[in-house]
Amino acid sequence: MADPHPYENVSVLVVEDMASVRKLIKNMLIQLGIRAVFEAGDGKAGLEETIRTCPTVVLCDVHMEPVDGRAYLKFLRNHPTRTIAATPVIMLTSDSSKDTVLFAKEHHANGYLVKPVSLNHLKSRIDAVLRGTAPG
């Protein structure tokens, strides 16, 4: 029998510089049944929020100012606290260039979602992370 509340203990941090996109993603997560959703407007705030909240999964935009998603992922993977460094990260971006995809793979991103994001794709990436079948 399927768990009626599969996301009950899941928390997600959305690191995105555009407030409207953060709100859209947050609403999608709530539709999925995820109640603990945290937000940050750039990579620096995202790293601080990751350390503060220890989310189950991070959805992180690539292109942000002043600290972008690439810098966030580098800082995170090099964090001295192992559990923080191992936080699953799904890159969220409209940039599907080869360089960006390679960077995400090299820095052990656990998934990649190209904007605009659909509810089904978001759910499947989060589910892959939760099952432990996502790369990373």
CATH number at residue 69: 3.40.50.2300
In a domain, 90, yes or no: yes
Contact, 76 vs 104, CB < 8 A? Answer: no
Extract the residue ranges of the chain whose pLDDT is less than 50.
none
In a domain, 69, yes or no: yes
Contact, 47 vs 60, CB < 8 A? Answer: no
Q: Which ranges of 4-134 does DSSP label H, i.e. alpha helix?
A: 19-32, 43-53, 69-77, 82-85, 98-106, 119-131
pLDDT digits (tens, 9 = 90+) for 30-65: 999 999 999 999 999 999 999 999 999 999 999 999
pTM above 0.85, yes or no: yes
In a domain, 5, yes or no: no
Total structural domains in the chain?
A: 1
Q: What is the pLDDT of residue 104?
A: 83
Provide the residue range defining the domain that includes 43: 11-131
Contact, 65 vs 96, CB < 8 A? Answer: no
In a domain, 2, yes or no: no
